[in-house]
Amino acid sequence: MTVHDRNRATAPPSRPPRIAATSAVLQQIPVPPSLAAQLLAAAADHLTKVKPDTELTVAGWGRALALADARILTGYPQAVAQHAGRRAMAALTSEMWAGARTRGEWALCLRKIAGSV
């Protein structure tokens, strides 16, 4: 005998899992780069456009970073912008700072790092 009241009802028929189908759909949704990655890429763009064959100075790095910050992070809340900036700076390695590189070489390094942030 099958009971049909809500407290003792039989289990509904099992449905095939949709997890695999949902996962496949989610993998097709494009994910934009993080703000930190965008910040590094924007700095790299500036270094590539302005005298890429000259040595990168501290002032040049500061200008590239400030322009990238203005271009990418303007309009975001301060906490979001600061977090993105910290993540971008944390991605820079000590080896990058040790060797004297041209602005173009720095741009290549920044683009490579941007892919991992």
Summarize pLDDT for 60-113 with one digit per residue, the tens: 999 999 999 999 999 999 999 999 999 999 999 888 888 768 999 999 999 999
**Residue in 62, 59, 65, 61 with CA at minimum distance from that of residue 42:** 65
Those residues with Cβ within 8 angstroms of residue 48's Cβ, 6 or more apart along the chain or in another chain? 103, 104, 107
Identify the bridge partners of residue 6 per DSSP, sorted by sequence position: none
Running DSSP on this structure, what letter comes out for residue 115?
A: T
% of the chain beyond a pLDDT of 70: 82
User: CA Rg, the chain, in Å?
Assistant: 25
Check if the beta carbon of residue 40 is closer than 8 Å to that of residue 51: no
Whether 47 shows a pLDDT value over 60: the answer reads: yes
Please, what is the average pLDDT of the chain? 86
Q: What is the mean pLDDT of residues 50-63?
A: 94
| pTM metric for this prediction | 0.74
